[in-house]
Structure 1
Amino acid sequence: MPLTTLGFDADDTLWHNETVFHLTEERFAQLLAAYADKDHLKERLLAAERRNLRHYGYGIKGFVLSMIETALEVTEGKAPGAVISEILEAGRDMMTHPVEPLPHVAGTLTALKDDYRLVLITKGDLFDQERKVAESGLADCFDAIEIVSEKSAETYKTLFSRHGTGPEEALMTGNSVKSDILPALEAGSIGVHVPYAITWGLEQAEAPSAHDRFHRLDHIGKLPELLTRLGQNGMWS
């Protein structure tokens, strides 16, 4: 089958994201240092995020609400108003943090956009994701941009059929094995994992190294070379 469509994750694949959350977690730990040690606080926060995903979804707003909930838990409901105010301010800082594309991204997208349909597939808060796409300067590289609430095999089947020629003729590139690779492989696509320095606890999963449609790259700049190699090896005509 020909390869017609390339899907790309956004956060931590095209631009930095998790580092912003990590820095905010450090700020949060300092705020509550008198009530809980850093490691314990991190565990409580991750547990709150896990509980709240079905209520708030992914993104900064849910993260801020989980921080407030955790602060109330560890202080037994006595968190000072100043602490809550500082958490809210940290959230506002995150929502206005500059969008910094990762190395090799712009050049890679430019090199590929004339030969394939490029589709940006990201999950999270609609308002914030739209802001980051606009500020990244990369929007014009894509034939379609989809912001979804969750990434599943059905998500990829639907989007690669809507914007391409089906999941079997598509490739998905992303930093999250759990969200970008495993469901794309299940849908029948090729999955290309490009690891980021930090992985959120709720996105951790074991890479399917033995899968014949799974590949890992050190950085996204190696994607054109991988596509050429796969074509030469007869993976598609």
Structure 2
Amino acid sequence: MEIDFKGIKVIGFDADDTLWVNETYFRETEEKFSKLLEDYETRNKIDQELFKMEMKNLELYGYGIKGFMLSMIESALELSNNGISQATLLEILNLGKKMIAHPVELLDGIEEILNKLQGKYRLIVLTKGDLLDQERKLERSGLSKYFHHVEVLSDKKEKNYRDLLEHLNIDVKEFLMIGNSLKSDVLPIVNIGAKAIHVPFHTTWKHEEIAEPEQKTGYMGINSLKKILQYL
């Protein structure tokens, strides 16, 4: 579905898996975590229990690598009936630290896109996760020069977006959100009257999976971020 973007003045970009690679590293770390615990349970069971632990801890730790690290440690203790060795716990901790220290891998063409949009629109980053980690990734990415504002939200629900747009004095009808998650970046935005572009990433965290509406209203989907230049 094509959308009329003529009235757009401000564009919000999601960060993880929209500006740079993120979910891929979580999947790789989960595989390494499963190998460390293969003496205690099957791969499938380990994956299931880790996800359950993440969901249980989400309200306590929020989104991001640090909460994921703590959930891995707690899952390891439960799956091993507290029999996991200190050495293995240290390995799990180091898995998380490696994720935090991982170089930022920009998605294809993102800097070219931002460079072309910068003079035409006010660009902002709206992401969720750990504040320190997201600030660190933005600095490493070299993209901060393109954005007027960066906001790390505790969650991406309708109220979060509505409150932020009001705080930044952005008219909802002049706002466009671009992101990879229907659940977090698209549907809440169109529900408050703004527009969105959905650019799926090749892998999605189970918590972010949601069925696409039969009728797209207020947003359009594209398979490559570079295609947004055809519309903006």
- What is the TM-score with the length of structure 1 in the denominator? 0.92
Q: Which residue matches 2:119?
A: 114
Taking the aligned partners of 1:211 and 1:157, their CA distance within structure 2 comes to 21
Given the alignment of the two structures, is residue 35 of structure 1 paired with residue 26 of structure 2, yes or no?
A: no
1:162 & 1:223 partners in 2: Cα distance? 27
- Mapping of residues 23-172 of structure 1, within 5 Å: 23-163=28-168, 165-172=170-177
- Give a deviation string over 1:97-120, Cα, whole Å, max 9, x none: 000110011111111111111110
CA contact under 8 A between 1:144 and 1:163: conserved in structure 2? no
Report the Cα offset of residue 208 of structure 1. 2.7
> In structure 2, the residue corresponding to 1:87 is in which secondary structure?
helix
Taking the aligned partners of 1:100 and 1:30, their CA distance within structure 2 comes to: 25
Gaps of 5+ in 2: 1-5
Q: Encode CA deviations 1:80-133: one digit per residue, 9 max, x unaligned.
A: 111111000111111100001100111111111111111100100011000000
Residue 172 and residue 50 in structure 1: after superposition, are their counterparts in 2 closer, same or farther (change >3 A)?
Answer: same
The residue aligned with 1:4 is: 9
Deviation, 1:161, is: 3.3
Q: In 1, are the aligned partners of 2:190 and 2:218 still within 8 Å (CA)? A: yes
How far apart, in 2, do the equivalents of 1:212 and 1:183 lie? 12
SS at match of 2:7: coil
Shift of the alpha carbon at 1:165?
A: 2.9
Q: Quick check: 1:174 aligned with 2:179?
A: yes
| Unmatched tracts of structure 1, length 5 or more | 228-237
Q: Note if contact 2:190-2:217 (Cα within 8 Å) is conserved in structure 1.
A: no
Alpha-carbon offset, residue 210 of structure 1? 1.0
Letter in 1 for 2:89: I
* TM-aligned CA deviation for residue 200 of structure 1: 0.4
Measured in 2, the distance between the counterparts of 1:163 and 1:146 equals 11
Amino acid at match of 2:209: Q
CA separation in 2, counterparts of 1:63 and 1:205?
21
Question: SS of 2:177's equivalent?
Answer: strand
Give the TM-score of the pair, scaled to structure 2. Answer: 0.94
Quick one: distance in 1 between partners of 2:172 and 2:82? Answer: 49
Which of 221, 229, 237 is the matching residue for 2:226? 221
Please give the per-residue CA displacement for 1:133-175, whole angstroms capped at 9, x wherever unaligned.
0001100111111011111112222333333532221111101
In the alignment, what sits opposite 2:3?
A: none
- Deviation at 1:78? 1.0
Task: Please list the CA deviations of residues 28-78 of structure 1 after superposition, one character each: whole Å capped at 9, or x if unmatched.
Answer: 011001111111100000000000000000001100110011111111111
Across the aligned residues of Structure 1 and Structure 2, the Cα RMSD in angstroms comes to: 1.2
SS in 1 for 2:165: helix
Paired AA for residue 148 in structure 1: L
1:146 match: secondary structure? strand
